[in-house]
Amino acid sequence: MTSFLWALGLALFIWLGLMGIGVHRGTALMVALLSFGAIFLYVRTQGGDT
């Protein structure tokens, strides 16, 4: 659950940042979704056992 929340929050931050600097909506969405997956897997495998 924690890894999902971290991934969701950071992917949202990335998406909003890309939209803020004028990146096309589709490109920003794809980058955010790929980031979500990568962050989720990273936190899931490397995160602490809390």
Q: Dump pLDDT digits (tens) for 4-31.
A: 999 999 999 999 999 999 999 999 999 9
**Residue-range domain boundaries for the chain:** 2-46
Listed as own residue / partner, the contacts of 44-50 with beta carbons closer than 8 Å and 24 or more positions apart are 44/3, 47/2, 47/3, 47/6, 50/2
| In the predicted structure, residue 42 carries a pLDDT above the cut 70 | yes
* Residue 49: band (very low, low, confident or very high) from pLDDT cuts 50, 70, 90: low
Residue 47 pLDDT: 81
